[in-house]
Structure 1
Amino acid sequence: MTLRVGIQLHPQATTVDEMRRAWRAADEMGADSIWTWDHFYPLYGDPDAAHFEGWTLLSAMAVDTSRARIGLLVTGNSYRNPELLADMARTVDHLSGGRAYLGVGAGWFERDYDEYGYEFGTAPDRLRQLGRDLPRMTSRIAKLNPPPMGDLPILIGGSGEKVTLRLVAEHAQAWNTFGPPEHFAQKSAVLDDWCARLGRDPSTIERTVGVGADDVHDVERYLDAGADHVIVMTGAPFDLAPLASLIEQRDRING
């Protein structure tokens, strides 16, 4: 197994210039992936701190970097028409030279919905919508002219065992959830079970895990749990030392 490592830069309590410096530095360091998120307000700390929109940032990241794959962990599916989202992802893929992921999830942060005028509904409602929208995204990607430059994998974020992980087995080329290793291993086993039920080769799904800056030591714990892509999550000021640790461990493990 080849280990990949990345970083998620939180677009809150920061500036665009600070984020650009951080993702350029991460790219130069050799990160395999760089991410941000798709929310409209801070998720922690000062609820009224500065905040920036994810897909617009991703467009800038695409042209500011040249090595790492890029994406959102993850897009709130309810916020955009699925055909439009597919077109946005294809366009960012071209801006990046074929390095984009289409990361998507059912959505969960109620303030985003309430203040931007989306219907929050219930978690089952949002999951049903995600299930309806994923085939529409795939269909639209196949129709776009020009097509994506890269493989534009669909990454689904979440760990719900009854619906979300089934959707991963049905539609995704990549999956993301969070640590610790025991949690990841449990959810990865459920995904394997869904793959067996649906006739999907589980090795065709890239398994990514988001970890805190205090959990980057001994990354082989996550490899043993079934992950092949470890992403450290960090807010401003952007300390890249945990990413440097992941890169050092990656290079040693991969030889």
Structure 2
Amino acid sequence: MPLLDTPVRLGIQLQPQHAPYPAFRDAVMRLEEMGVDVLFNWDHFFPLSGDPEGLHFESWTMLAAWAEQTERVEFGALVNCNSYRNPDLQADMARTIDHISAQGGTGRFIFGTGAGWFERDYDEYGYEFGTPGSRLRDLEQGLARIEKRWEKLNPAPTRRIPVMIGGKGEQKTLRLVARHADIWHSFVGPDELPHKLSVIEKWAETEQRPTDGLIISNELKDRDEEFADALYDGGVRLYTLGFQGPDWDYSIIERWLRWRDGKNA
């Protein structure tokens, strides 16, 4: 732990704001053709930057469209908010999108999830915001229900749907990573990574769940190749890049694809 003998992958987070939907459809097609490995959106109801009343689209319905539109890339939310939906419903939605994306083979959906944090989403859509602690407790209970529901659904998912958990809190979040996650996503720097990984390993011993297959994920936005190299040395193998439209600069993607390919050569 972490899993080091896996290729470097590049995930692009299409921020679902400030662009009409056809622009996202075109961007998805172009990014898959360019060779990115994973496509993400986020699970909010309002823009997180720019005009707070600007254009914005819902995450899961967009992901279902991507499942049908794409052929190769994996995809998911970075990350889903556990608070908005019944956990068993989340499991069923994930299973259905998994099947839509399988197209005769194995599904490509990644179940990225978290406890939620953007209070406006809760207030305007009528969800109880609670506290960080209560939202994490809900996530803990939700993940257990989701995994149980996946075992009951007919038809079952086409594969063991990978679970991605974001965050770095040592007492609760990283324990959930050790208990449930296939991918751990964070924004922590290279200097902080060894300690956080040691915390995950400690929790893994408590949970009696091996983490030798855990993929470490981190963000590239506003970072350079030297920083990415340091993250790589620390065990990161999935790199995500926030990508803001509608005037997407695809030269940034080409730059990071070259860096990825150099690491995998």
TM over 0.5, shorter chain: yes
Residue 112 of structure 1 corresponds to 121
Matches within 5 A, 1:66-105: 66-97=71-102, 98-105=107-114
Q: CA RMSD in A?
A: 1.5
Q: 2:50 aligns with which of 35, 45, 55?
A: 45
Letter of the structure 2 residue corresponding to residue 128 of structure 1: R
Letter of the structure 1 residue corresponding to residue 67 of structure 2: A
Report the CA distance between 1:34 and its aligned residue: 0.5
The TM-score, its normalising length taken from structure 2, stands at 0.91
The 3-state SS of whatever aligns with 2:239 is strand
Q: 1:238 aligns with which of 248, 252, 255?
A: 248
Residue 62 of structure 1 corresponds to 67
Residue 167 of structure 2 corresponds to 158
CA–CA separation in structure 2 for the residues paired with 1:72 and 1:100 = 9
Q: 2:136 aligns with which of 121, 124, 127?
A: 127
Residue 21 of structure 1 corresponds to 26
CA–CA separation in structure 2 for the residues paired with 1:250 and 1:220 = 10
Q: 1:247 aligns with which of 229, 235, 257?
A: 257
Report the CA distance between 1:141 and its aligned residue: 0.7
The 3-state SS of whatever aligns with 2:254 is helix
Matches within 5 A, 1:134-153: 134-153=143-162
- Are 2:18 and 1:10 aligned? no
Residues 178, 184 of structure 1: 8 Å contact kept: no
Letter of the structure 2 residue corresponding to residue 80 of structure 1: R
Work out the number of aligned pairs and report it: 254
The TM-score, its normalising length taken from structure 1, stands at 0.94
Report the CA distance between 1:186 and its aligned residue: 4.0
CA–CA separation in structure 1 for the residues paired with 2:53 and 2:33 = 32
Residue 222 of structure 1 corresponds to 231
**Structure 1, unaligned stretches of length 5 or more?**
none
- Aligned-pair identity (%): 44
